Structure 1
Amino acid sequence: MPIFDSSTTASDVVAAFSEQAAGKTFVITGGSTGGLGAAVALALASAKPSMILLLGRTESKIDPVIKDISNISPTTKAQFIEMDLLLLSSVRTAAASVAALVSKIDVLINNAGIMGTKLARTPEGVESQFAANHIGHFLLTNLLVPQLQQAAGKARVVNVSSKLYQFSPMDFSDPQFASTPWNTWLAYGQSKTANILFAVALSKRLESKGVRSYSLHPGNIKQTGLAAGVDPQSWPVIMKLFEEKDMEIPKEKTLEQGAATSVAAALDPQLDSASGAFLDDCQVAKALGYASSEENAEKLWSLSERIVGEVFSY
């Protein structure tokens, strides 16, 4: 089996495991041109999957990616589905659209996200980074579980997190910053911790039903444009947090290198026995206790159900 590291590209991973992608159906959130989701989709296209569905807010930003997929693999059906992760009604509509198109999903990649934004809230009063990065994906994933369960026991859910989860655990006493002084990087860190805990909770519920889940750090990828939404006044704050937490700034990667761990999480058969794991550089890595705790995963699940107004039992 190949040895992957920080220099591995998404194309390297697909080349190693192309048989794991051929003829499969992939659903990816956030597929705008130039972004991480697009890089993942284009790499997967080279293995000739059956279908790639790209979920996002703006069709004009995803259309070029769909055209590129079709050029790489004319037999792959690629399609845009509109979805705004900040609106639960939009997530429900998108999930229904996906279910109407496919009876089976092999891999769901929860890739879309926002970072370092000014304080904003959804109609339900949820802080926007927690909403877009976790709550929207929590709802989408659970609504698509029937399709994931049809993948012959081989389905995977991939949550794109970040090493910046180390900025903050889940603050279950005040997750929406109702009384806590606003700090966009603590909010971002909390949302990325939620991505990891969500994978833990999903694994506990669904591994026995043939659905595995993973979370991952893609790398520090400046090409994606994720930083374009950062509140400029918050940059000095993040440097202070790196110092306070005694954290190293994550290593910078190219877009192709950044997409590699998402593709590994989707395809690498060696990960079959590691459901619930956090990945870095395409390998299983250790997450801090608060982000890997089953107790915290259960608390997050309950909080998430309350926010979306629906209970999911498996």
Structure 2
Amino acid sequence: MGPFIIGSQMATSLAKAGPAHILIASRTLSRVQPVLDEIIRIDSTIKTTAIQVELTDHASVRRAANEILGATPTIDVLINSAGIMAVKDYTLDKQGIELQLSANHMGHFLLTNLLVPALEATPGRVVNLTSSGYLITPFRFDDYNFSDGAVYDLWTGYGQAKLANILFAWGLTKRLRSRGIVAAAAHPGYNGDTRLGSHLTWDDYAGIFPASKRNMGKEFVFEEPRFKTYTQIAATPLIAALDPEVEIKAPAFLQNSAITEPAEHACDEKSADRLWELSERLVGQDFEY
């Protein structure tokens, strides 16, 4: 299941609770319309909005943020669910950032910070979708761009980006809790029928294990149950978005529908601060909270 399918499952699940407004930002608006139609079928009183955004293009993110702020003065929950996985060939975004870090973290970092005025008005909660892939590697602060591709590894790139999702939740909560805004990172689980990994074979996944051994000095182990249905895969992010306990315990990491402690390298305050500083530099804007 790709991130959009997870996102659409979350949107239609949320619609059953009668929210005032569901706004979906997507790279491809044609894929959003069936989801909006389904929301209206569930509850015709819900306001729906679709906004186009390309998260790997910071100009697009800034335009989309302005459109979102124009469409809604308040945001109760922001769920950052877009992502890509295990890009085989080393690729840079428009800003010169490795593509997996760009799509999975950097675009979300910029968009979330630009939406703080609407989050602060509620105050709201931020949920970053992550993955147990974060266990593959520490963050490569001294070489996040893989020596311009010379030492690129697709799974290390994915692991670094998914680790960033968790560290960002820690950094955001530290800076914005005083304004009532907290963040969580949720690992939704896996579904074998995945668009996220449609370009991969099962043999490609075997590369996770040597990458983890090389980067972390330990064996990678998938959590159980590893595979989930469409409905189950939306459950953990929705708990992260709605459970009052998350607000109390934030920053929080959730998997298998429960708050749990992530590995040490994912909740290290110094790493969260370093990532925040690097992210500010790469988006060309300081967010002083």
Q: TM-score, normalised by structure 1?
A: 0.85
Q: Which of 246, 252, 259 does residue 277 from structure 1 map onto?
A: 252
2:138 maps to what in 1?
A: 169
Q: Which of 182, 187, 208 does residue 217 from structure 1 map onto?
A: 187
Q: Secondary structure at the match of 1:178?
A: helix
Q: Which of 144, 147, 160 does residue 178 from structure 1 map onto?
A: 147
Distance 1:222 1:241 in 2: 21
Q: Which of 262, 266, 291 does residue 241 from structure 2 map onto?
A: 266
1:96 maps to what in 2?
A: 66
Distance 2:201 2:287 in 1: 35
Q: Secondary structure at the match of 1:226?
A: coil
| Residues 258-312 of structure 1: CA deviation (Å, up to 9, x unaligned) | 1101100111112221111111122111111111011000000000000000000
1:248 maps to what in 2?
A: 221
Q: Does 1:148 align with 2:119?
A: yes
Q: Does 1:130 align with 2:101?
A: yes
1:15 maps to what in 2?
A: none
1:120 maps to what in 2?
A: 91
For residue 221 of structure 2, what is the amino acid of its counterpart? E
Q: Is the 8 A contact 2:134 2:161 kept in 1?
A: yes
Q: Does 1:296 align with 2:287?
A: no
Root-mean-square deviation (Å): 1.8
Q: Is the 8 A contact 1:31 1:54 kept in 2?
A: no
Q: Which of 79, 89, 92 does residue 109 from structure 1 map onto?
A: 79
Distance 1:193 1:231 in 2: 23
Distance 1:230 1:205 in 2: 38
Q: 1:269 to 1:80 in 2, by over 3 A?
A: same
| Aligned-pair CA distance for 1:234 | 3.9
Q: Is the 8 A contact 2:253 2:261 kept in 1?
A: yes
Distance 1:66 1:182 in 2: 39
Distance 1:229 1:133 in 2: 17
Distance 1:136 1:75 in 2: 31
| Residues 8-41 of structure 1: CA deviation (Å, up to 9, x unaligned) | xxxxxxxxxxxxxxxxxxxxxx974xx1001110
For residue 125 of structure 2, what is the amino acid of its counterpart? R
Q: Secondary structure at the match of 1:223?
A: coil
Point out where structure 2 has 5 or more consecutive residues left out of the alignment: none
Q: Secondary structure at the match of 1:228?
A: coil
Q: Secondary structure at the match of 2:147?
A: coil
| Aligned-pair CA distance for 1:231 | 8.0
Q: Secondary structure at the match of 2:207?
A: helix
| Aligned-pair CA distance for 1:142 | 0.1
For residue 6 of structure 2, what is the amino acid of its counterpart? L
The worse-fitting range, judged by mean Cα deviation, of 226-235 and 64-73 is 226-235
2:24 maps to what in 1?
A: 54
Distance 2:27 2:70 in 1: 19
| Aligned-pair CA distance for 1:73 | 1.1
Q: 1:239 to 1:170 in 2, by over 3 A?
A: closer
For residue 141 of structure 2, what is the amino acid of its counterpart? F
Distance 2:80 2:98 in 1: 19
Distance 1:76 1:147 in 2: 19
Q: Which of 265, 270, 281 does residue 306 from structure 1 map onto?
A: 281
Distance 1:42 1:274 in 2: 27
Q: 1:224 to 1:76 in 2, by over 3 A?
A: farther
Q: Is the 8 A contact 2:3 2:83 kept in 1?
A: no
Q: Secondary structure at the match of 1:134?
A: helix
Distance 2:273 2:129 in 1: 20
Distance 2:146 2:204 in 1: 16
Q: 1:228 to 1:201 in 2, by over 3 A?
A: same
| Aligned-pair CA distance for 1:77 | 1.2
Percent of aligned pairs with the same amino acid: 41
Distance 2:14 2:191 in 1: 19
Distance 1:173 1:59 in 2: 37
Aligned residue pair count: 281
Q: 1:258 to 1:232 in 2, by over 3 A?
A: closer
| Aligned-pair CA distance for 1:83 | 0.4
| Aligned-pair CA distance for 1:247 | 2.2
Distance 2:213 2:102 in 1: 27
